[in-house]
Amino acid sequence: MNLTTNFTVEEFTASATATRLKIDNTIPEHLMAQALATAQMMERIRTLLSTSLGRAVPISVSSGYRCPALDLAVRGRPKTGDHSRMLAVDFRANAFGSPYLIAKALAPHISILGIGQLIYEAPTGTAEWVHVSSRVPQHAVDRVITISPLGVAMGIQPLG
């Protein structure tokens, strides 16, 4: 089912972990309006990236909605985490560039895009992605951060 032109419910709920553990990761009806709002945020992000390159930039969602059981299985924060409230998406856009380059491109535009929090995540130093949430964090210093093997740093920081 399409939420927007380029984003579907299926891609927001797809999870190899949920499949393996037989977890039903269906978005509850009461979160469907939030799913639409999150998909609209992702459309704005896709438009900005595409406009920057002058061609369409597909986005590959690696994690959207995570029900509380799935969030717990992947060491998230069930019930309070942004993914379990359909506020957040982890993604890549390989046609644009690395997650670092994507995060750098998005950072100056977070308010206009409706991004409450932007994270360049590379927790192992090898796997990396961009995390966006529509929720503004309690502390302003947490609004744009990098998570790497060295820990958490303010702003979008290179790994090297």
The string of DSSP letters for 76-116 reads --TTTSTGGGT-EEEEE-TTT--HHHHHHHHGGGHHHHT-S
pLDDT at residue 159, as a whole number: 87
pLDDT category at 39 given cuts 50, 70, 90 is very high
Q: What angle do CA 41, 45, 50 make, to 5 degrees?
A: 145
Mean pLDDT of 40-52: 98
Mean pLDDT of 65-92: 88
Asked if the model's pLDDT at residue 77 lies above 90, the reply is no
Average confidence score pLDDT of the chain = 94
Residue 77's region, left for phi above 0, alpha for psi from -120 to 50, else beta, is: beta
The topology (CATH level 3) of 9-154 is Muramoyl-pentapeptide Carboxypeptidase; domain 2 (3.30.1380)
Mean pLDDT of 123-134: 92
Give me the residues paired with residue 148 across strands: 151
pTM of the model: 0.94
Structure tokens that stand for 84 in this block? 């379990």
Asked if the model's pLDDT at residue 80 lies above 80, the reply is no
Q: Which residues contact 88 (CB under 8 A, 6 or more apart)?
A: 38, 63, 64, 81, 82, 117, 131, 132, 133, 134, 135
Rounded CA-CA distance 111/104 in Å is 14
pLDDT category at 125 given cuts 50, 70, 90 is confident
